[in-house]
Amino acid sequence: MLAALKKGWKSVRISTMNQSAQKYLDKDGRLAVWPKRKEDKTAVVEYLASKFEAGKIYSEKDVNEIIALWHTFNDHTLLRRELVERKFLDRTPDCREYKAAAK
């Protein structure tokens, strides 16, 4: 699945992105550091959420692979938890399936 994701992603258009998120991204559009400010955290989680297709069901492995594609600091657990807590992803009680919220 990871290869298909890499192949299918459109190029990132940093110029149209929220300014708060931009300063935390590397030249390839990947999240390079976790922000300290609450407003910036919201912006980068929203940016990361845009990498998921609304309404689609994902396994935990799929979610982790997508997150891995879009960050460089090796903490997919933090980012997955943020996506869920901020209601960008819903998950089943057993955490086996995730559904991307409507945008």
Q: Which helix (H) or strand (E) holds 86?
A: none
Query: CA-CA distance, 45 to 6, in Å (whole number)?
Result: 20
Q: What is the pTM of this model?
A: 0.82
Question: Which structure tokens are listed for 26?
Answer: 């590397």
Q: Going by C-beta distance under 8 Å and a sequence separation of 6 or more, which residues neighbour residue 82?
A: 41, 45, 48
For the chain, domain boundaries: 19-100
pLDDT digits (tens, 9 = 90+) for 25-39: 999 999 999 999 999
Question: Look-up: residue for tokens 């922000």?
Answer: 35
Q: What is the pLDDT of residue 20?
A: 83
The answer to whether residue 56 scores a pLDDT higher than 60 is yes
Q: What is the pLDDT of residue 99?
A: 97
The answer to whether residue 101 scores a pLDDT higher than 80 is yes
